[in-house]
Structure 1
């Protein structure tokens, strides 16, 4: 699996032609997130990260991490008596880099683009155009403890089919997440 992920990273051009020192950490991480979407859309996201790669010599970035995340999203729309729901399964490679410290706690940004499958193409009054979507994210994370086990994050996430269908209204979410390593 590690060779597959390194090949994926190379294919996206994150490393490019440069040689990179790569260290693999087999530390599992779980994340629970509350999602607030447009209008009356809200949800819950459960994510699992089985492995994280630490790169020490990435071009333009230097020291950064890459993790692979699998997630299940449960979206809800409207009032309790008329709820409409949707489930999204996603797989995303995510690049993470520390850029600051706040009261001695490391602060990171993250960026990722992954793939998602929806169980319903129509949701929240929109025809999303396809069951297949892309999951884009941009986030800020802070480690909460010195053992690097607990983390708090805020993320902007966007789901769309990237124009693979003539209909592509997309869905936007603002997430707050708590994650822990074990």
Structure 2
């Protein structure tokens, strides 16, 4: 737990070099996920339609009888649907502090992360996203329970 707090303090201390910060809560099958993310926006459009950013996330996962931490990073592509409504998708890597959570066996600490979401911008500083996250080792190990959850992310742009 001390390592997690240290990582959180380090991430927050570097927040001024990032463009956005978000808090996230997710849930599925008696597993609660609490997350803090930092984002760096790039002045680059992917295929001339999607804004590109880098997301760095730390999450605390609380199961029925067990808990663990996750650190992940992923490039995130965001496509505006309207002026306020957007779609985002990302594919990245993650590190799990444990290879198991309750009855789930992840097989290894290294995992892949995929996420998709629909969001709404309230103004220039605040937005909220309903998102789906999936973690898996892509069958690099025989044990691959994976971890899926739906969450709500609230972000603030500096």
TM-score by length of 2: 0.85
> In structure 2, what is the equivalent of residue 120 of structure 1?
98
1:74, distance to aligned residue in structure 2 (A): 0.4
Aligned length in residues: 142
Q: What residue number does 1:149 align with?
A: 125
Q: Which of 1 and 2 has greater Rg?
A: 1
- State the match for 1:44 in structure 2: 34
Alignment-derived partner of residue 10 in structure 2: none
Task: Give matches, 1:135-146, under 5 Å.
Answer: 135-145=113-123
Contact 1:27 1:181 in 2 (8 A): no
- Give the alignment's Cα RMSD to 1 decimal: 1.5
Secondary structure, aligned partner of 1:100: coil
Runs of 4+ in 1 over 2 A off after TM superposition: 50-54
| Pairs within 5 Å for 1:1-182 | 28-37=19-28, 39-55=29-45, 58=47, 62-78=48-64, 83-101=65-83, 106-145=84-123, 148-182=124-158
What SS class does the counterpart of residue 139 from structure 2 fall into? coil
Structure 2 alignment gaps of length 5 or more:
1-16
From the superposition, tell whether residues 84 and 164 of structure 1 become closer, same or farther in structure 2 (CA, over 3 Å).
Answer: same
CA–CA separation in structure 2 for the residues paired with 1:110 and 1:124: 30
What is the CA–CA distance in structure 2 between the aligned matches of 1:175 and 1:87, rounded to whole Å? Answer: 16
Gaps of 5+ in 1: 1-25
Query: Does structure 2 retain, via aligned residues, the 8 Å contact 1:158–1:171?
Result: yes
Change (3 A) 1:168 1:89: same
- Provide the rounded CA distance (Å) in 1 between the counterparts of 2:67 and 2:18: 32
- Alpha-carbon shift at residue 99 of structure 1 (Å): 1.4
C-alpha deviations, 1:31-85, integer Å up to 9, x for none?
0001112x11012010001333331x71xxx33201001000100011xxxx411
